[in-house]
Structure 1
């Protein structure tokens, strides 16, 4: 129960890694505000709340589109009003993008950066008004910011911006005793991975079986489970990471030098 009584906000928490993070934080004693973006996601968010509450944990769902700065502030205002304070922010909401350079549009840029960069910046801004000394912020970057992946420029750039953000916000928030870090997952077995996994393979290797590719690139020869990413996040928001700030913690178990050899 590392987080007993802490109030934690997790954005994009209705599925995948966000769901695993919310579940792990709740199991460690935190009261979790589960954020979802649209009404279509309300059902899985409420289902997660019911599941956690049935286990004796405490959680509540909050709707907000974090790509809109005003809704970021409304989200944190609502959580603080409901629970009395905010101790932890985990900014997990994000969207994928693959596309050729000549096909990237201004609309694509706005859509990706409004969620992956602006959304994380403004939810951090909103949370900073409430976080006390000892508060914890974890944003979501990606190992994609550090490796070459075909047609992945826009997404990778957005995630690289997140790592730069935590590095530069660390001294500012540190004056108030608040730490800020980022988590950089590698390939993780989620619904999003099922939808986009094949796009991570260079066209020249499309005829190679996924199993063979995974074994050629994997130290552990498998994708991460969402719960393994959640465990790393739990470390960063706990007292165990009290002297860790401005860092991007990579959890890239499936990426090795073999991936770099594809550049």
Structure 2
């Protein structure tokens, strides 16, 4: 890729929350961004509008990463519009909490389909289509390692993402494509705040030494580092961006 060619990033689940913050940050870093959404068309359009108003390039693409052809559609759209793909951020995911004894087959299968199956298909598509020197950045969670009750299935899907990250990093070394994962702690997003009392939120915020929740921009900054030139020697790692929770 020459200096004049567009660097392109696909960010799954980027119509809101952490994904939207990542899309905006990578656009500021100079990437053309594919803003992926499953059902939030208006929210995705708003993110694209923000990026374009700031002088960046972006497009919104609807695709269900749980489906067999969702990732292919994202890469097809990116290549058709921007010429190729340099960074894939596997951000999209869902979290349905319940004790293992009370978890339904439907809840198990849905989390596996999106959190693990979507990332797997993204990694597979990226391994074949990301340009040499590119990046694959997936999302785990700091719950892997904490092993809190009610997070059994969610943590299991993310632990599998970490395993695939370590292995794919070794497989893509000859293409100079780095593969890493980011494992956030609690971040102040609509998804996290929903249904929680102020008392519970304050308790969770107090679990880390910095005594605050993470912000979407905190996580986007880590992704920016991994996607940029300064992250080129970081490979096969899981970065626990959680304020110091151990």
TM-score category of the 2 structures, normalised to the smaller one = over 0.9
Aligned equivalents of 1:57 and 1:111: distance in 2? 34
Task: Go from structure 1 to structure 2 and tell me whether the alpha carbon gap of 1:102 and 1:234 turns closer, same or farther (over 3 Å shift).
Answer: same
Aligned to 1:47: 46
Aligned equivalents of 1:194 and 1:185: distance in 2? 15
Aligned to 2:208: 218
Task: Please report the RMSD computed on the Cα atoms of aligned residues, expressed in angstroms.
Answer: 1.7
Aligned to 1:10: 11
Aligned to 2:242: 252
Q: CA deviation at 1:214?
A: 4.3
Aligned to 1:127: 126
Aligned to 1:166: 165
TM-score (norm 1): 0.87
Q: CA deviation at 1:196?
A: 5.5
Deviates more, 1:17-26 or 1:247-256: 247-256
Q: CA deviation at 1:252?
A: 1.0
Q: CA deviation at 1:215?
A: 6.1
Give the one of 223, 228, 231 matched to 2:221.
Answer: 231
Question: Contact 2:206–2:212 at 8 Å: present in 1 too?
Answer: no
Report how many aligned residue pairs link the two structures. Answer: 242
Aligned equivalents of 1:188 and 1:19: distance in 2? 13
TM-score (norm 2): 0.93
Aligned equivalents of 2:50 and 2:241: distance in 1? 27
Question: Contact 2:182–2:239 at 8 Å: present in 1 too?
Answer: yes
Q: CA deviation at 1:195?
A: 1.6
User: Per the alignment, in what secondary structure is the counterpart of residue 240 of structure 2?
Assistant: strand
Q: CA deviation at 1:197?
A: 4.8
Aligned to 1:202: none
